[in-house]
């Protein structure tokens, strides 16, 4: 049986809780049982927050409130009465947000029904890679991590080391992007793309993948009935194969140009997609559209691709935070067109456009909302102040489909 703390929280049910008792599952560095949930007074809320923060400062883990333990082993699923489970989950999330600093990048709570109006509360938190998380207020903060026997106070060197690791991971993220982009442009990527065409490059990188070895089961997305593993601008069945990194899906135009677009799904959950078709018109020599980029086509392609790749990330069990990075290359001197008669005021003045990294603390997000910083930077590269397809309230108006 898969360890319960490694399961997605939505998949935990009463059968798995009962199995914990039958197997006399032991508390560990990543699993803790509580018979009751006490979060009424301020000090009780802080102690509960310490339990959760200690998981985030170690290897992540799962707290189950409503499980009676004996000598550190699960002995009985007792649950506790809850009149409104949704309100309980909301209250727990509010307590954690108010007491843990900085806020946890990923934590989920869920009430699991185990009887008539009785529930077990599950709180799952992933290891945090943004630095140590403290609990407290009014200038007094405490840091805790976890060992095999439960939570332990962190000393100053441990706190310092956690922030050094966080900065190290951010540097690795930037280095990863720079190295992969350079390799793609040099034709040394997982698939060789045309050397003369502008390229659209997308990376979706779980921060945990840069911290320690991680492996996901990619088999479900190898099959052609899962169209999400498709290159940018494409959708549906195409050639897929396993390689040393994971699974590769590549597309071409049926001509002698070979591979014109690919997406590589790595075992550690990283997605790399590179495309040589979206940023050019269907006929590169077509009148004044020569050396012109279609803004509507670029928008639609990136929104659809990100939606697909987030579906993959959820499907293989990737946990946030995840960084989205979009780049465009070989665009110096190119125009941006919004409609057939409406170009941007200036041409691109550099060959490589590396747009801002976007951090995702959840994977069930709207792609167009996540992509706004990218689209704003994309339009600024051609002389516009920001993307005009976002209203002041942030609502996104999809561009016309005929261009």
For residue 55 the two structure tokens come to 């998981």
Q: What is the pLDDT of residues 77-129, one digit of tens each?
A: 999 999 899 999 999 999 999 999 988 878 899 999 998 889 999 999 988 88
Is the pLDDT reported for residue 137 higher than 90? Answer: no
The reported pLDDT for the residue numbered 195 is 82
Domains delineated in the chain: 4-154 (3.30.950.30), 171-380 (no CATH)
Q: What is the pLDDT of residues 171-221, one digit of tens each?
A: 889 999 999 999 999 888 788 888 888 999 999 999 888 877 788 889 888
Is the pLDDT reported for residue 260 higher than 90? Answer: no
* Mode of pairing for the β-strands spanning 292-294 and 335-339: parallel
pLDDT range class, residue 225, cuts 50, 70, 90 = confident
Is the pLDDT reported for residue 254 higher than 90? Answer: no
Instruction: For the chain, give the mean pLDDT.
Output: 88
Q: What is the pLDDT of residues 304-359, one digit of tens each?
A: 999 999 999 999 988 888 999 999 999 999 999 888 778 888 999 899 999 999 99
The reported pLDDT for the residue numbered 98 is 92
The reported pLDDT for the residue numbered 251 is 79
Q: Span 46-60, mean pLDDT?
A: 93
Is the pLDDT reported for residue 49 higher than 70? Answer: yes
């Amino acid at each position: 049986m898969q360890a319960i703390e490694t399961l997605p929280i939505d998949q935990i049910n009463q059968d798995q809780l009962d199995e914990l008792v039958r197997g006399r599952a032991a508390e560990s560095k990543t699993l803790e049982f509580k018979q009751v949930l006490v979060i009424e007074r301020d000090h009780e809320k802080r102690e509960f927050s310490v339990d959760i923060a200690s998981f985030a400062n170690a290897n992540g883990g799962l707290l189950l409130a409503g499980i009676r333990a004996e000598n550190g082993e699960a002995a009985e699923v007792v649950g506790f009465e809850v009149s409104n489970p949704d309100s309980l989950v909301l209250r727990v999330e509010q307590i954690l947000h108010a007491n843990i600093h900085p806020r946890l990048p990923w934590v989920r709570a869920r009430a699991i029904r185990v009887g008539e109006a009785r529930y077990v509360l599950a709180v799952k938190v992933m290891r945090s890679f943004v630095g140590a998380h403290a609990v407290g207020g009014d200038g007094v903060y405490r840091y805790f991590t976890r060992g095999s026997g439960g939570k332990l106070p962190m000393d100053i060197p441990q706190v310092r080391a956690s922030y050094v690791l966080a900065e190290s991971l951010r540097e690795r993220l930037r280095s990863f992007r720079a190295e992969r982009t350079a390799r793609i442009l040099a034709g040394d990527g997982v698939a060789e793309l045309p050397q003369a065409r502008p390229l659209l490059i997308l990376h979706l990188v779980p921060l945990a993948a840069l911290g320690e070895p991680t492996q996901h089961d990619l088999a479900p997305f190898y099959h052609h009935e899962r169209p999400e593993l498709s290159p940018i601008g494409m959708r549906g069945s195409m050639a897929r194969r396993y390689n040393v990194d994971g699974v590769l899906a590549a597309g071409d135009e049926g001509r002698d140009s070979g591979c014109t677009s690919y997406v590589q799904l790595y075992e550690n959950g990283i997605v790399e997609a590179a495309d040589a078709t979206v940023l050019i018109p269907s006929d590169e020599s077509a009148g004044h559209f020569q050396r012109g980029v279609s803004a509507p086509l670029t928008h639609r392609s990136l929104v659809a691709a990100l939606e697909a790749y987030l579906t993959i990330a959820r499907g293989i069990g990737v946990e946030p935070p995840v960084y989205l990075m979009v780049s465009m290359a070989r665009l110096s001197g190119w125009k941006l067109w919004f409609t057939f008669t409406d170009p941007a005021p200036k041409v691109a003045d550099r060959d490589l456009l590396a747009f801002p990294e976007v951090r995702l603390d959840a994977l069930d997000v709207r792609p167009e909302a996540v992509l706004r910083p990218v689209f704003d930077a994309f339009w600024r590269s051609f002389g516009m102040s920001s993307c005009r397809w976002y209203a002041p309230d942030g609502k996104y108006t999809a561009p016309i489909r005929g261009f």
